[in-house]
Amino acid sequence: MSREIATMADEQLHGHTGHEADQQDTTVRKLFLVLHGKYGNVFAGKFATGELNEAGKDKGVLAALRVWSAALAKYPGPIIELAAERLKATHPEYPPSLPQFEKLCDAAMPRQTVAELEGWKRLPAPEVMPVDVQVEPRCDGKDWARRIVARAVAGDRSVSCAALRDARLALGLEGRMSWQ
């Protein structure tokens, strides 16, 4: 890939291609505007060669735009924008180089799990059929426990062991308590 970037930069500098800055990635052009706005000519001066193309634009800046566009093509637009926002904290005085900006983009990328990195397929979500039980209310404050026990008896596998144990304790079906 570095040969491709070098070739694009050389073509832009020496005019061997018909590509103009208008065809560059919009996000990278916006990024260059933001960086020029934050750092002024310190940023633009890094790339300026003094050679102008037919449109009157500096060939060095256009070449840098193409190189940055090619290098940042692997990042989605919102990630590039987020990295640009983080420049205040990470580079308050001087503009970042391309590798430094790529590190900011890498840090802004959402983390992936090992399964996502390896391309493993996700297991389908288990199908849990709701178990509808009818419990006659007794208004003694233990109706919740009766519903849980009735669901477990009906085969509801979504009832946790702890919830079932607590319900059985509340109803006095397990371990006698002094208050029962």
Do 16 and 50 have their domain in common?
Answer: yes
Regarding whether 19 and 108 lie in a shared domain, the answer is: yes
Residue range of the domain that includes 180: 129-180
The number of domains in the chain is 2
Q: Is residue 7 part of a domain?
A: yes
123 falls within a domain: no
Query: What is the per-residue pLDDT across 123-174, written as a single tens digit (0 to 9) for each?
Result: 998 887 778 888 889 989 999 999 999 999 998 888 999 999 999 999 988 8
Q: What is the DSSP string of the chain?
A: -HHHHHHHHHHHHHT-S---GGGS-HHHHHHHHHHHHHHTHHHHTTT--S-B-TTS-BHHHHHHHHHHHHHGGGS-HHHHHHHHHTHHHH-SSSPPPHHHHHHHHHHHSPP--HHHHHTPPPPPPP--PPPP-------SS-HHHHHHHHHHHTT-TTS-HHHHHHHHHHHTSSS--TT-
pTM of the model: 0.54
Whether 89 is covered by a domain: the verdict is: yes
Domain boundary among 89, 117, 145: 117
28 and 69 both lie in a single domain = yes
